[in-house]
Amino acid sequence: MIQLDPSLKPADLSTKLQQFWEISAKKIKLIEQQYNPAHGSPVFTMQGRYTTRGWTEWTQGFQYGSAIIQFDATGDTEFLELGRLKTLAVMAPHVSHTGVHDHGFNNVSTYGNLLRLMREGKIPFNAWEANFYTLALKVSGAVQANRWTPINSKTESPFGTGGFIHSFNGPHSLFVDTIRSCRSLVVSHLLGHTSKGEGDVQINLLERALHHIEATATYSVYYGEGRDSYDVWGRTAHESIFNVTDGHYRCPNSQQGYTGFSTWTRGLAWAMCGFAESLEALLLIPDDELTALGGRERLESLMLKAARATCDFYIEHTPLDGVPYWDTGAPDLHKLGDYLHQPANPYNEYEPVDSSAAAIAAQGLLRLGHYLMQHSHSMDGEDAEKPGVIYWQAGLTVLNTLLDIPYLSTDPAHQGLLLHSIYHRPNGWDYRPEGSKIPYGESSMWGDYHIREAALYVQRLLDEAPYYAFFTGCIRQKDEQHEW
């Protein structure tokens, strides 16, 4: 269980953050200088150098989104120009990519961050440029929404039978991580876009996002209610399988975790972050838009339950310092002894940790903690403030660990920023140093991006900048002179 430091404050991370951004800048430049883009998008490192191996092209937005985040945190315009130029040059195929469930990763991280910075006034307003980013985001959300599987929900949904954005495995497959791609649908909706299908049927993008969120909360997350023999409060399944002929749920499964009945911790982290930021986004939606989609109270309750459950599970099933092993049911964890009551050991002989899961989870914990503290929600008669404080302190604890060795990459020759990330343990894709029984010491593009994103979240609080959220680029500033 994570050992919380109740005295830890964002200001206590300021020195580490300063060092972090200095190292981060060097890593971005190193990749730009040394990586050959002809090989495809950089995915993860082997012996300290980024290489590519993918199911799909899902990491390029993290590469150039990292440069935009670096500018946001430091004001160094070299990184702004890198992010701008590369978004213009290489990201268009990701906007129209019909074969992936990753639009929220690739396009919100690039076009979305750039529009956000412009709307915040952090970069000069330019009507043509803003319209360019806006159009890309509108189209991206519509393309993502078209990857759709209708289902017969086991819950009594007041707005239809439901459905989900299916994974690249096919229309039967709901991935827990796809909840972060709901961002693309929400952004497109907030920018005023409505998609159209066969016969000019209008597709409400907010409705599809909420359907997917509900499906994820219903089938990907467990609540200790006797669903199966492994039903524990907050556990997640990486993949949920449906019969596409009749639309009924069949079983849990896993692609990157150990089994469908254990918890792949990066999938858990995606859920933590996705539900927390969806709760934040829900605050922007007017009540009249939500009435026909289930109503604010019901939707908020559903998201809050899933966010609380997943964050609770993470806190309970993660070692003291906040960094999890790659799967809570990994077969050799028992050989580590009482591993939950000591700091994680990335150099052990039995099972690898996954720092990228920790980076994603840190943001989810911080956002949920902030949400609860701001809106004074309670559950089951608890003190309304206490849960928010616990999640907030847990998020700071995790981030504090990741901003230091052995997780922060201080080797100037290593292209990665966050060490001890795991990509695909079952497939054996991760580099294993000679003489070691497990992989360690490597980085991933999503881990590097999300540690930057979590660091930016806290950095902007320290700088008293506007609250960092994916949807703030959809909020028009009063001084803009153009219609959208």
Would you say residue 159 has pLDDT above 90?
Answer: no
pLDDT band at 152 (very low <50, low <70, confident <90, very high): confident
> Could you read off the pLDDT of 268-282 as tens digits, one per residue?
999 999 999 999 999
Distances (CA, A) of 483 to 69, 111, 156, 287, 476: 27, 19, 40, 24, 10
Average pLDDT rounded to a whole number, residues 42-53: 95
Amino acid making up residue 24: S
Which has the closest alpha carbon to 444: 323, 266, 238? 266
- State residue 14's pLDDT score: 98
The beta strands (E) that lie in 163-298 are given as 163-165, 173-175, 195-196, 202-203, 239-243, 248-253
The answer to whether 402 and 359 are in contact (CB under 8 A) is yes
Q: What is the CB-side half-sphere exposure of residue 282 using CA atoms within 13 A?
A: 26
pLDDT at 478 over 80: no
Do residues 370 and 363 touch, judged by C-beta distance below 8 A? no
Task: For the chain, give the mean pLDDT.
Answer: 93
Q: What is the pLDDT of residue 482?
A: 39
User: pLDDT band at 161, cuts 50/70/90?
Assistant: low
Pairing state of beta strands 173-175 and 239-243?
antiparallel
Q: Is the dihedral of CA 199, 200, 203, 204 positive or negative?
A: negative
- Copy the structure tokens of residue 427: 């497939």
Q: Write out pLDDT tens, residues 305-333.
A: 999 999 999 999 999 999 999 999 999 99
User: What pLDDT sits at residue 202?
Assistant: 95
Write the pLDDT tens digit of every residue in 395-450: 999 999 999 999 999 999 999 999 999 999 999 999 999 999 999 999 999 999 99
Tokens of 179: 């909840």
Q: What is the chain's alpha carbon radius of gyration, rounded to the nearest angstrom?
A: 21
Report pLDDT for 53. Answer: 81
Please give the single-letter amino acid code of residue 190: L
* Cis ω for the linkage preceding 412 (within 30 of 0): no
Is the pLDDT assigned to residue 383 strictly greater than 90?
A: no
Class of domain 148-307 (CATH, top level): mainly alpha
* pLDDT range class, residue 378, cuts 50, 70, 90: low
pLDDT tens sequence across 432-446: 999 999 999 999 999
DSSP calls for 269-291: HHHHHHHHHHHHHHTTS-HHHHH
Cβ atoms of 97 and 57 closer than 8 Å: yes
Q: How confident is the model at residue 56 (pLDDT cuts 50, 70, 90)?
A: confident
In whole angstroms, what is the distance from residue 86 CA to residue 78 CA?
A: 12
Q: Tokens standing for 109?
A: 């991280």
For a pLDDT cut of 90, what percent of the chain falls above it? 90
The two beta strands, 173-175 and 195-196, are unpaired
Segment 134-144 shows an average pLDDT of 98
pLDDT tens for 180-226 read: 999 999 999 999 999 999 999 999 999 999 999 999 999 999 999 99
**pLDDT on residue 129:** 95
Average pLDDT over residues 459-474: 95
pLDDT tens digit sequence for 336-361: 999 999 999 999 999 999 999 999 99
pLDDT confidence of residue 475: 78
β-partners of residue 150 are 163
Q: How confident is the model at residue 477 (pLDDT cuts 50, 70, 90)?
A: low
* The predicted structure's pLDDT at residue 48: 98
The pLDDT value recorded for residue 476 is 62
Amino acid letter for position 435: G
Q: Can you say whether residue 319 is alpha, beta or left, with left for phi > 0 and alpha for psi between -120 and 50 degrees?
A: beta
Q: 153 falls in which pLDDT band (50, 70, 90)?
A: low
Whether the pLDDT of residue 452 is over 80: the answer is yes
Sequence-separated contacts (24+) of 430-439 with Cβ below 8 Å: 430/44, 430/352, 431/45, 431/46, 431/47, 436/347, 436/349, 437/349, 437/350, 438/348, 438/349, 438/350, 438/351, 438/352, 439/352
As given in the structure block, the two tokens for residue 54 are: 């993918």
- pLDDT higher than 80, residue 483: no
Q: Where are the domains of the chain?
A: 1-34+318-465, 54-145, 148-307
Q: Which tens digit of pLDDT belongs to each residue from 116-128?
A: 999 999 999 999 9
Q: Which residues contact 344 (CB under 8 A, 6 or more apart)?
A: 318, 319, 320, 321, 323, 324, 325, 353
For residue 382, the model assigns a pLDDT of 54
